Each structure stands twice: as structure tokens, then as C-alpha cells.
């Protein structure tokens, strides 16, 4: 065999004969060649149709490889050049949970209070730009498989905030299906971009469907909504995002509907989502939801049957505990056909191809976005603008606001006065700088004004957190100290540490992330009473993600502001409103009720008695409500006396800013059907516009009312347009609201023939 067999080679401290070395070299060379061979596959040819590329890719995968690509954490497939990827990322109000500093916009419920689709679309676009910058850096560093670095964002949350006790309601756009649909669609369009070929990022509408608390029982709830409520309340926003906004993804919820888990629902997943709405995107489970098939809903006995059931119903990704790994056995044992696996895998790779993950960098318009886009000046400016837009002025007796900047002493007191964390809400990123209410006020006044700060109390007791530790407050001393001020600003409310997703909270009025009471915590009202007794002008600023009942405060405090969780610049926006540098124009996306006693059972998903559309009693502050430092007058309203069924008609009005301040107005159009005998909303929002008017100026606003907006839902879930009398209301809020400062809402009757 010659001398060559006696020649030795040393590698990694091991000695090999030359013959063995040559064999190893040949194998290594072949592997390298194979590693490059995949580039010749049609899947890597950007000139080919997308469907052909995806089909080619999936045809080359083994069953085991396909199944592993259906987890939210997917491994690389080196022989095909497929990098690892984690589908899980968050961008609710800015890129969340990354290792980078990012722009944090106001919480979703706060952005909903802007009633401004254009502003929300721009915010989503800026957030997606930051997300792309992070992903581009991750790709360059080979971190494609790391969580919170991908481009598939599980946002927006378009569940209906049907009950103010739900802790996750802060993540939504409020209680109204129409407002939620329009804002959610704007978010999706901004996030996904307008390139005809590539997605800037992929949005995901969640949680599908009929999901809105309580948090502690979300894994076990079986909800049986009426067909009417399903189509009238719980589905319209999802339909808008799927059918019109072309959202890339949908997340199915934990709960069951009509005894089937949402991720395995014949009605929701097969009949409605795929067959009626023709959804072509991907579906992910909520995290752990497939396990619930087995352990809580008990509709399946084991992992293989649970996984097969979910995939059969179109759930393409499992987020959770690897139930889907059993799909290999499910196929081999005949529980599901491999073709069904192929359907899901093709959907998933279609999204990844549309995100440009398999195309040359120079062909993808978003692939060069640099990391310097994080916290770009225009993004931070938009965060401040949206914080301003979100603030709702609830009361302003005797023009208490705006304040003079020349005041000698201002007292700032309360658990949210110097709390920066509260500004961030939940599902949030981390900005380089957060402005508290105290920070904003200090920056706004001059050196001639003394700002006195006292925590006063905590959220639910007299222990206030200072510098990270809880300290019992001497309330008498605090009252004495602030009583010498010219004005007292109390920054109270609640916190994301008390309301949120499935939380462990041990505090009066809160349970598992939800609220057991919507009242402002007693300790805060008690302190407010003491402050009121000082005789000093008193202003209440509430930070919250949900409606708070403040009946005593409404009666006794001259000025009340709701500032939500305002994002990184929330404190600046509050100060600008307090001192008149910004004229507030936020409108409530939820109803503020008077007390707990007015609320139906939290677990009652029947919409009777829920939200402004079906609540018949007086409320503290209604949906759509918000005051201004100016005054707006509606005149010359043009509405046809009659309209033909099935045709659209136009509505217009002149709006005049008759007050002393420039400012925004939010025109709202409501429709009701007073003579309809079937179930129908008392009234329903069907149009809104936010616009700016200088003091003394006027503009003409126009709406086109379509047959869809004139239609109702029948008891069988079908849309129909009734004939007869139609009542249309146009103005700065709902009709028949008897609160000071609300513009008179014009109501007109139309006959539909």
C-alpha cells in the first residue's frame, strides 16, 4: 500500500495516518461544497415567484425539520442555508424587551385616546424602523435565533376592553369595535409598510377571539357568546385587520369558545378566519395555549392529538412547551397527514420570505437601516406628540387650568408624581430617558418658582416608594409642607405593577393583574380630601391604563386630567397641558363609570350593560368625552332627509374654534336605529376625525356614511341594513351628554327607503 500509509498528520492533538487524513479532507471538501450547493436551489432565486420558492424549500425538508420549524424557537437547517429564528417579538408601543435602548411611545390605550389614525400609523412605522435596525444588527452578528430580535411582532392587541377591571385592557384600543378597528388597521399599515414586495415588519392581531379577562381564569374559561355579540362586538376589529389591512399574523387565544379551544375552533379558525375571510397569513398560539387543550380544557388526551388538532385548525406556530414536537409521531400514526404540516410550514416561510430573509441584502429596501435609527429625534418627537394627544381633560371648573408659570410655589404630591417606571406601561422597551410628572413641571417653570415634592402616600396604603424602598409617610407633615403652595398638583392613579397580564399582586382592589374595584384607592381619596381642606387650588392628574371611578373627586376637585401611561415623555406632556403650552384634545376610548355597583359580572361576556353601546345609566365620563381650553361650535350641518338602502351618503358640517386657544377638535359621528325591534346598540360610533383649528378659524368636515356603517347584525350573525328612521349625531362627543364644556351635539333624522 506504499509509504503514504506510514505518513502521519497531527490535528487537535490526535495523530492520523495520511490515508485517513485524505479521507477526512475529502469529506470536509464535500461538506463545504454541499454547504454552497443550496445556493443553486430555486428557493434562493429572487427572480422566481414567491410561491415557487416556498414550494421548493418545503419539498427539500424532512418531516422532522418541518415540525421543528413550527415552534416559535426554530433551529437552523445548515444544509439548506436556513438560519435559526425566534418568532416571538413585541412592539406594542415601541420595540420591547430588546437589549437596546428604544423609543417608548404612550401605552396603547393612551394612543387610542388620541383618536388619530395618522398619528398611530406614523408611530407604528417609526417603531418598525427601530425594529428593523435591531434585526439588521442581529443578522450581522449571527444572532438570528435570539428572542426579541426578529421581525414578527405579536401586536396589536385588538380585543374589546368590555370591562374596566381587565388588567390587560391597557394594551387595547378601548371598548368600541369601530374605533379599535380603525386604529388597529392604521397600526398594521404603518408597521408592515407599503413596499409591494417586502414587509417592513409583520404584525399579528391578537387574541383571537372573545378574550378580555379575567386574567386568573383565562386558561380555563369556556365562553359562549351569542351569535349577535360575536359578530357585533368581538369580531369586527379582527375582520378589518384581516380583510382590509392584510395583517400578516393572527394569535389565537387561551380561552375556549363554545367548548372548543380558540386555537382548535371549527367556528373561529376554519369557518370564519380561513373560509369566510380567506386569511392567507400565519397563526400562532398564545404561549402555552396548546397545552391547555390537554390540561385545562381537556379536549385532547395527549400531546400528539392536541398538536394534530391545532394544526388541523390552522394554528401554524406553537408558542409554548413543545407540544408540536409530537407532530412527527402524529403523522406516523395517522393522526394527521404530512400535507397538512406542509400547509403550515409554507405559510410560515412565506412570511419569512416576505420579510426578505432569503434575498440578497441589496434587494431588500429595509436591510440597510442602521442602528443609529434607535431613538431617532423624529421618533422621540412623535412619542412626545402622542403623549400630548392622549391626555384627556376631564374637568376644568372656573378655568382652573392652564396654570401661570409665574406661580411662586407649586406642590407636587402623590404616588405617581416622581414615578418614571409607571410611564412605560407594560410590554414596553427601555428608553434612554423617562420624564416623570415632577420632572416635567420642574423643567416647565422658571427659577422663580419653588417646586415642593412629597410622595404623600402609596397607591393603596400610606407607604410610598422612594429611591427603591417603601417608607411610611408622615401625612400630617406632608400636608403642612404643601399647604403653603399656591397650587397643589396630585399625581395619583394606579400602576402597571398593579394591573397587567396574569400577575401576582397582593393589594386591596387588585387580583391576578385585574382590578376588583374601579374606585380610586381609598388612601388617595383620603389624602385628596385633606389637600382639599387646605383651601388651595387642587389639580388631580391620574396615570392609569383603565377607567377609574372618582365620584368624590368629580364633585370637589376643580381640575382633573387623565394622562394614562404616557411613555418616555409623559411627564413633559402633562406639564405642557398644565401650563397651557398644549391645548388638550384627547378623548376617552373607554367609559368611566361611577362605581363598582354599576358593573355587570366580570365573567359575563353578554354585552348587555357593557360599554357605552349597551349601558343605559348615567356615567361619570362617557366614551368619546374630553374637554379643551377652547370652545368648538358645529353649524351648517348638511345631512340628507332621505337615503336609499344600499347606497352611501355624505355628511358635512362647519366647525368653528370660537375660543381663545388654538387646538385640536375630535368630531364624532354616531348612528342609532330607534325603531329597530331586533337587538341593536343604543348608539354606535361610525366616524371620527381629529383636526387642528386656530382660535377664531373654521373648517368644513366631511364624512361618507357607507351601507356597511348603516348596517346591523341579526340574531343569526348576518349583516343587514334596516329601513325606516335613522338617527345621526355629529359633534364633539356622544349626544345628550350633560357635562360642562361639551359642545352641543347636533342630531338629525334620516329616512332610509
CA–centroid distance for 738 within its chain: 31
Q: How far apart are CA 332 and CA 326, in angstroms?
A: 10
Q: Is the dihedral of CA 146, 498, 434, 92 positive or negative?
A: positive
Question: How many other β-carbons are positioned within 10 Å of the β-carbon of residue 720?
Answer: 12
Question: How many other β-carbons are positioned within 10 Å of the β-carbon of residue 729?
Answer: 20
CA–centroid distance for 660 within its chain: 35
User: Residue 33's pLDDT is what?
Assistant: 46
Using alpha carbons only, what angle is made at residue 643 by residues 641 and 648, rounded to the nearest 5 degrees? Answer: 125
Buried b (16+ CB within 10 A) or exposed e, 536-575: bbbbbbbbbbbbbbbeebbeebbbbbbbbbbbbbbbbbbb
Ranges of the chain with pLDDT below 70 = 1-36, 464-473
| DSSP of 69-128 | TTBSEE--BGGGTBPPEE-----BTB--S-SS----PPPHHHHHTTT-HHHHHHHHHHHH
Q: Which of 400, 398, 401, 394 is nearest to 626 (CA)?
A: 394
Cell numbers at 158, concatenated: 385588538
Buried b (16+ CB within 10 A) or exposed e, 296-318: bbebbeebbbbbbbbbbbbbbbb
**Catalytic residue positions, numbered:** 286, 499
Q: How far apart are CA 639 and CA 648, in angstroms?
A: 12
Preceding peptide of 156 cis, ω within 30°: yes
Contact at 8 Å (CB) between 104 and 123? no
Q: Which of 619, 631, 622 is nearest to 743 (CA)?
A: 631
Q: How far apart are the first and last CA of the chain?
A: 101
List C-alpha distances in Å: 544 to 12, 496, 548, 561, 753: 62, 8, 8, 11, 46
Q: How far apart are CA 619 and CA 737, in angstroms?
A: 10
Q: Which of 561, 266, 617, 513 is nearest to 400 (CA)?
A: 561
Q: Which of 407, 379, 753, 697 is nearest to 569 (CA)?
A: 379
User: Residue 460's pLDDT is what?
Assistant: 95
Beginning with the edge strand found earlier in the chain, give each strand of the sheet holding 632-638 in spatial order: 632-638, 649-657, 698-705
Cell numbers at 234, concatenated: 368581538
User: Residue 482's pLDDT is what?
Assistant: 92
Q: What is the dihedral of CA 314, 320, 325, 326, to 10 degrees?
A: -70
Q: How far apart are CA 203 and CA 246, in angstroms?
A: 9
Q: How far apart are CA 229 and CA 223, in angstroms?
A: 12
| DSSP of 153-175 | ----B-----STT-GGGGGS--S
Contact at 8 Å (CB) between 80 and 61? yes
SS3 259: coil
User: Residue 471's pLDDT is what?
Assistant: 66
Q: How many CA atoms lie within 13 A of 644 on its CB side?
A: 1
Contact at 8 Å (CB) between 540 and 557? yes
Kind and range of the H or E element at 250? Answer: strand 249-252
Q: How far apart are CA 391 and CA 585, in angstroms?
A: 7
Contact at 8 Å (CB) between 518 and 498? no
Using alpha carbons only, what angle is made at residue 485 by residues 479 and 487, rounded to the nearest 5 degrees? Answer: 100
SS3 361: helix
Q: How far apart are CA 325 and CA 322, in angstroms?
A: 6
Q: Which of 546, 502, 427, 731 is nearest to 174 (CA)?
A: 546
Q: How far apart are CA 651 and CA 85, in angstroms?
A: 50
Cell numbers at 36, concatenated: 454552497
Contacts of 59 by beta carbon, 8 Å cutoff, 6+ apart: none
List C-alpha distances in Å: 354 to 240, 365, 691: 21, 12, 36
User: Residue 220's pLDDT is what?
Assistant: 97
Contact at 8 Å (CB) between 584 and 627? yes
Q: Which of 128, 185, 101 is nearest to 355 (CA)?
A: 128
Cell numbers at 392, concatenated: 384627556
Partners of 748 in beta bridges = 728
Q: Return left, alpha or beta for 320; rule: phi > 0 is left, psi -120 to 50 is alpha, else beta.
A: left
- pLDDT, one tens digit per residue, over 215-245 is 999 999 999 999 999 999 999 999 999 999 9
Kindly report the length of the chain. 753
| Prediction pTM value | 0.94
Q: What is the dihedral of CA 549, 551, 557, 563, to 10 degrees?
A: 10
SS3 labels along 507-547: ECCEECCEECCCECCHHHHHHHHHHHCCCCCEEEEEECCCC
Cell numbers at 711, concatenated: 348596517
Contact at 8 Å (CB) between 72 and 317? yes
Contact at 8 Å (CB) between 154 and 284? yes
Contact at 8 Å (CB) between 431 and 568? yes
Q: How far apart are CA 662 and CA 691, in angstroms?
A: 11
Q: How far apart are CA 256 and CA 208, in angstroms?
A: 10
SS3 labels along 273-291: HHHHCCCCCEEEECCCHHH
Contact at 8 Å (CB) between 143 and 158? no
Q: Which of 644, 650, 646 is nearest to 753 (CA)?
A: 644
SS3 692: strand
- pLDDT, one tens digit per residue, over 64-78 is 999 999 999 999 999
What are the φ/ψ torsions at residue 699 (nearest 5 degrees)? -145, 160
| DSSP of 380-394 | HHHHHHHHHHH-EEE
- pLDDT, one tens digit per residue, over 163-181 is 999 999 999 999 999 999 9
User: Residue 506's pLDDT is what?
Assistant: 84
User: Residue 740's pLDDT is what?
Assistant: 79
Residue with the three cell numbers 387642528? 692
Amino acid at each position: 500500500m506504499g509509504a503514504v500509509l506510514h505518513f502521519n498528520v497531527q490535528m487537535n492533538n490526535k495523530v492520523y495516518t495520511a490515508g485517513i487524513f485524505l479521507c477526512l479532507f475529502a469529506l470536509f471538501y464535500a461538506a463545504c461544497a454541499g454547504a454552497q450547493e443550496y445556493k443553486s436551489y430555486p428557493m434562493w432565486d429572487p427572480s422566481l415567484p414567491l410561491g415557487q420558492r416556498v414550494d421548493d424549500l418545503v419539498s427539500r425538508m424532512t418531516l422532522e425539520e418541518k415540525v421543528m420549524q413550527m415552534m416559535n424557537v426554530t433551529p437552523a437547517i445548515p444544509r439548506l442555508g436556513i438560519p435559526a429564528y425566534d418568532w416571538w417579538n413585541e412592539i406594542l408601543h415601541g420595540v420591547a424587551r430588546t437589549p437596546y435602548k428604544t423609543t417608548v411611545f404612550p401605552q396603547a390605550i393612551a394612543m387610542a385616546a388620541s383618536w388619530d389614525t395618522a398619528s398611530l400609523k406614523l408611530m407604528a412605522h417609526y417603531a418598525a424602523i427601530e425594529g428593523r435596525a435591531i434585526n439588521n444588527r442581529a443578522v450581522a452578528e449571527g444572532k438570528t435565533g435570539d428572542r426579541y430580535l426578529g421581525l414578527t411582532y405579536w401586536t396589536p392587541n385588538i380585543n374589546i376592553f368590555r370591562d374596566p377591571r381587565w388588567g390587560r385592557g391597557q394594551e387595547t384600543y378601548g371598548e368600541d369595535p369601530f374605533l379599535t378597528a380603525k386604529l388597529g388597521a392604521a397600526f398594521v399599515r404603518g408597521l408592515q409598510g407599503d413596499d409591494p414586495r417586502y414587509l417592513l415588519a409583520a404584525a399579528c392581531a391578537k387574541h383571537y377571539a372573545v378574550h378580555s379577562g379575567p386574567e386568573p381564569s383565562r386558561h380555563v374559561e369556556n365562553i359562549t357568546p351569542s351569535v349577535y355579540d360575536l359578530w357585533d362586538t368581538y369580531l369586527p376589529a379582527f375582520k378589518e385587520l384581516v380583510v382590509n389591512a392584510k395583517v400578516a399574523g393572527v394569535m389565537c387565544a387561551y380561552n375556549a369558545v363554545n367548548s372548543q379551544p380558540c386555537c382548535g375552533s371549527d367556528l373561529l379558525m376554519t369557518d370564519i378566519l380561513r373560509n369566510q375571510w380567506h386569511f392567507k397569513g400565519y397563526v400562532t398560539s398564545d404561549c402555552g395555549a396548546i397545552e391547555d387543550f390537554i390540561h385545562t380544557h381537556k379536549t385532547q388526551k395527549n400531546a400528539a392529538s392536541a398538536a394534530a388538532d391545532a394544526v388541523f385548525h390552522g394554528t401554524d406556530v406553537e408558542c409554548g412547551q413543545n407540544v408540536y414536537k409530537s407532530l412527527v409521531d402524529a403523522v406516523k400514526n395517522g393522526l394527521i397527514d404530512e400535507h397538512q404540516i406542509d400547509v403550515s410550514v409554507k405559510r410560515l416561510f412565506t412570511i419569512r420570505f416576505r420579510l426578505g430573509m432569503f434575498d440578497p441584502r441589496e434587494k431588500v429596501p429595509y436591510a440597510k437601516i442602521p442602528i443609529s435609527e434607535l431613538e431617532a429625534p423624529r421618533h422621540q418627537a412623535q412619542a412626545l406628540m402622542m403623549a400630548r394627544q392622549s391626555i384627556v381633560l376631564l374637568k376644568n371648573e372656573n378655568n382652573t387650568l392652564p396654570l401661570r408659570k409665574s406661580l411662586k410655589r407649586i406642590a407636587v404630591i402623590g404616588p405617581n408624581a416622581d414615578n418614571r417606571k409607571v410611564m412605560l406601561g407594560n410590554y414596553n422597551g427601555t428608553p434612554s430617558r423617562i420624564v416623570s410628572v415632577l420632572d416635567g413641571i420642574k423643567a416647565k417653570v422658571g427659577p422663580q418658582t419653588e417646586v415642593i415634592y412629597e410622595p404623600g402616600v402609596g397607591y393603596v396604603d400610606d407607604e410610598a416608594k422612594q429611591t427603591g424602598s417603601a417608607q411610611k409617610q408622615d401625612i400630617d407633615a406632608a400636608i403642612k409642607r404643601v399647604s403653603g403652595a399656591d397650587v397643589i398638583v396630585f399625581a395619583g392613579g394606579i400602576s402597571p405593577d398593579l394591573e397587567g397580564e396574569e400577575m401576582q399582586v397582593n393589594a386591596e382592589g387588585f387580583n391576578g393583574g385585574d382590578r376588583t374595584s374601579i374606585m380610586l384607592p381609598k388612601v388617595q381619596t383620603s389624602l385628596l380630601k385633606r389637600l382639599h381642606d387646605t383651601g388651595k387650588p387642587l389639580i388631580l392628574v391620574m396615570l392609569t391604563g383603565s377607567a377609574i371611578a372618582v365620584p368624590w373627586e368629580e364633585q370637589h376637585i376643580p381640575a382633573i386630567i387623565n394622562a394614562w401611561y404616557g411613555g418616555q415623555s409623559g411627564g413633559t406632556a402633562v406639564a405642557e397641558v398644565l401650563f397651557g403650552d398644549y391645548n388638550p384634545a384627547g378623548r376617552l376610548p373607554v367609559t368611566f363609570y361611577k362605581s363598582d355597583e354599576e358593573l355587570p359580572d366580570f365573567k359575563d361576556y353578554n354585552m348587555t350593560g357593557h360599554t357605552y353601546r349597551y349601558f343605559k345609566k348615567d356615567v361619570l365620563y362617557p366614551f368619546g368625552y374630553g374637554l379643551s381650553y377652547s370652545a368648538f361650535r358645529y353649524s351648517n350641518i348638511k345631512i340628507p332627509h332621505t337615503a336609499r338602502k344600499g347606497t352611501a351618503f355624505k355628511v358635512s358640517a362647519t366647525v368653528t374654534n370660537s375660543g381663545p386657544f388654538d387646538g385640536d377638535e375630535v368630531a364624532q359621528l354616531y348612528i342609532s336605529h330607534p325603531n329597530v325591534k331586533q337587538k341593536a346598540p343604543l348608539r354606535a360610533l361610525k366616524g371620527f376625525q381629529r383636526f387642528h383649528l386656530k382660535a377664531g378659524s373654521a373648517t368644513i368636515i366631511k364624512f361618507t356614511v357607507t351601507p356597511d356603517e348603516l348596517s346591523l347584525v341579526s340574531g343569526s350573525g348576518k349583516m343587514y341594513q334596516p329601513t325606516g328612521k335613522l338617527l345621526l349625531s355629529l359633534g364633539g362627543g356622544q349626544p345628550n351628554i350633560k357635562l360642562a364644556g361639551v359642545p352641543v351635539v347636533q342630531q338629525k333624522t334620516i329616512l332610509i327607503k
